[in-house]
Amino acid sequence: MKNSKIKKTLVEELKQFDNHFRNQGFYNLAGVDEAGRGPIAGPVVAAAVVLPANLEIPQIADSKVVKESVRESIYQDIISTALFVGIGYATNDYIDKTNILKATLFAMTQAVKNLNVIPELILIDGTYTLPLATKSRQFPIVKGDGKSLSIAAASIVAKVYRDRLMRRYSYIYPEYGFEKHKGYPTKEHIKCLIESGPCPIHRITYKSVKNVRKA
């Protein structure tokens, strides 16, 4: 019971953060976050989420502190109750041609564009604004996934969407175990990479992959 009360308090704090902006007249606000900056394989995926003001999802939080099975359940709740959800991504080739920061901002921008609505305010996890040709106000928030309900929701959606994608890649490239590590540079992944070499979704500009290619 105590843990349940703590979680409810945290969710209320996240909601109050967003409501602070709604009380200033920004009723239509979107939270934006990404998943997949750290992996050495696969895309970086971003999500933009517009939630109703009275949303009740007790377990919602930053995706990094939520178990995978719980994230899947929360994801379904968000998809079924959110007003709008947009997804964007940048492939590993795009990441290699530019860099992970530019790729992340590209994915976030695409996610907002795919919302089917122009938000009055965009709350972005991080320190950067997005290159959008709209009059939407943008507010970057450091560690925003632990402060804003909308950003926390976006972090869940981006993470689950990307995890599902990496599980699908595991059927195409079964020798790498993508369903387990989702492309992150775990010991198991590096071992598989050394044994089999890079596959088409590996980020060849990343050190762990470059070292294998040179060996």
pLDDT in tens, 98-123: 999 999 999 999 999 999 999 999 99
Domains in the chain, number: 1
Name the token pair of 46: 């971003």
Q: 3-state SS string over 20-40?
A: HHHCCCCCCEEEEEEECCCCC
pLDDT in tens, 19-37: 999 999 998 999 999 999 9
pLDDT band at 1 (very low <50, low <70, confident <90, very high): very low
Q: Does residue 147 have a pLDDT over 70?
A: yes
Residue 131's identity, in one-letter code, is P
Please tell me whether residue 62 adopts helix, strand or coil conformation.
Answer: coil
Residue 125's identity, in one-letter code, is D
Among 25, 27, 34, 29, which Cα is nearest to 149's? 29
Name the token pair of 53: 């003001």
DSSP H or E stretch at residue 87: strand 84-90
DSSP states of 90-155 = E-HHHHHHS-HHHHHHHHHHHHHHTTSS--SEEEEESS-----SS--EEEEETTGGGT-HHHHHHH
Q: Does residue 60 have a pLDDT over 60?
A: yes
Q: Does residue 4 have a pLDDT over 60?
A: no
Rounded Cα gap, residues 108 and 8, in angstroms: 29
Q: Which residue has the higher pLDDT, 188 or 212?
A: 188
Among 175, 169, 208, which Cα is nearest to 190's? 208
CATH value at residue 53: 3.30.420.10
Tally: H helices and E strands in the chain: 8, 5
Name the token pair of 37: 């900056």
pLDDT in tens, 164-207: 999 999 999 999 999 999 999 999 999 999 999 999 999 999 99
Q: Which domain, by its residues, includes 31?
A: 2-214
Single pTM value for the model:
0.93
pLDDT band at 47 (very low <50, low <70, confident <90, very high): very high
Q: Which residue has the higher pLDDT, 58 or 55?
A: 55
